[in-house]
Amino acid sequence: MPQDLPRPLRAGGSLAVKAYLGTSFIVLLLMMLAGVAMRTAQAGWIDLGPDFFYQVMTVHGAGMVGIAALAGAGVMWFFLHRYVDLSESIAWLNYGLFLLGVVLILGAIFIGGYAGGWTFLWPLPAHPMGQWSAHAAAAFIGGLILIGLGFLAFYFDAAVAIGRRYGGLLRGLGVDQLLSGRIDPTHPPTVVASCMVIIVNTLGTLTGAVVLIVTLVNLYYPELTISALLAKNLIYFFGHVFINATIYMSVIAVYELLPLYAKRPWKVSRPFLAAWAAATVFVMAVYPHHLLLDTVMPRGLLVLGQVVSYLSGIPVLLVTAYGALLLVYRSDIDWAAPARWLVLSMFGWSAGVIPAIVDGTIHVNKVMHNTMWVPGHFHFYLLVGLLPMLIGFSLHVFGRGRAYNEALERAVFWVYTAATVSFCIAFLLGGWASVPRRWAQHAAHWLPYDRLGSVAGVAILLAMLALATGIVRRIVTGPRPALQADEH
């Protein structure tokens, strides 16, 4: 590994990381409010009306995916800058395009009435049945394109920087070490994870750009069309890769921070490099498990989706969750607040993969895929996996030197943990009972699942309010983000 590392965090980069994470926690709180509103509407406790419900569903889906990506990018940039020379200007460009895209999306939904869901499934944007105009759909699609352009610039800058220092993305990923058999244990896990994200999400975002541009042009020139099956494949390849990349960027915080609390290094090994190389392929190959109900799909792709669904969880469990357990086991770990959240994230990521594997089985998928089972799976990933990574990262790096209210923080931690697990279980139980997803109004015998989820959702919202308030205050008033555990 180069000897002039780690690189210092300059003022512009420090402010960018603060902007990424500060914005993310504010928007996450708002998106949780939207989610709770939908659950309580399904429970029959408030009335949103079907039209407004689907607008809220659209902004919740697009908002959660987008803001999770922005937060993950902030985590990745903070750690990757220590190893390669990243551009602060490109980081700010990504942030600016993201905000501009968000303005277009919010205008499309709450002014234009767009309510076609974050997946913009072809040809729905152009067939609104009087619910929105072509201009509203164009604003939504245009907002997504702007956000995608920002992330492409972000990944291109990171790829160039990694290429200059490590000789290319495949070398940064450690493929050369696997082929040669000579493993460098000091090779940074941050660089490995970043290379994987750059490869898969560049391809995913470019794929999404193709169908987004066709959709945008089709709104005004209907003669330009595309196969609905091809469009669906492109959309779900993009969507699956993009949302998975958010957690692969954020898990870098576990690799960098948990060793500081366990007082043990996280060394790169042959299984580690092999698992990340496999994950690079699996994340892109597994997307057909979203299309198992499309009987017109080529059989080979459906088989691939099912088989890779079983395999894709293995690298995660092997090198990250199991590696974290080995790191913590019989260590003199400091169970400070960031460490608790990072360990919780490993549980959430590991447990969240189980309902995904179940749903990836064709015979189960035919019954469960269009039920609440699927929101249960991905909320488990996000609420109990991704968000604790972001919380642990933020508690560690922002506002160093300030004492925590330990009793309050522990109380919030346990309320959040119990509430998020209960919230996800309510979804899974609803899926087990065949409660359909994406319905604005529910039958009476479905209401117990909705009401359990609503109560848990309110508890999550309150816990997140306490967390976000403290974190944003530290971001605004604290000094530059810092890595060293002893600075807390």
Helix (H, G, I), strand (E, B) or coil at 121: coil
Q: How many Å separate Cα 141 from the centre of its chain?
A: 20
CA–CA dist 378, 373 (Å, integer) = 9
Q: What are the φ and ψ backbone dihedral angles of 224, each rounded to 5 degrees?
A: -80, 115
- Write out residues in the chain with pLDDT < 70, as ranges: 1-6, 316, 399-404, 484-488
Long-range contacts of 310-314 (CB under 8 A, 24+ apart): 310/357, 310/360, 311/278, 311/282, 312/279, 312/282, 312/283, 312/286, 312/353, 313/353, 313/356, 313/357, 314/275, 314/278
Domains plus CATH for the chain? Answer: 11-487 (1.20.210.10)
CA nearest 475: which of 107, 71, 201, 160? 71
pTM above 0.85, yes or no: yes
| pLDDT score of 404 | 67
Q: What is the DSSP string of 156-176?
A: HHHHHHHHHHHSSHHHHHTHH
**For position 4, what pLDDT does the model report?**
53
Q: Residue 188, Cβ neighbours under 10 Å: how many?
A: 24
Q: How far apart are CA 328 and CA 331, in angstroms?
A: 5
CA dihedral of residues 152, 237, 286, 201 (deg, nearest 10): 0
Identity of residue 163 = G
Q: How far is residue 188's CA from residue 174's CA, in Å, rounded to a whole number?
A: 10
Tell me what pLDDT residue 204 has: 97
The tokens 């702007």 sit on which residue? Answer: 146
pLDDT of 1 reads 43
- Nearest partner of 337 among 270, 411, 392, judged by Cα: 392
Q: Does residue 484 contact residue 260 with C-beta atoms inside 8 Å? A: yes
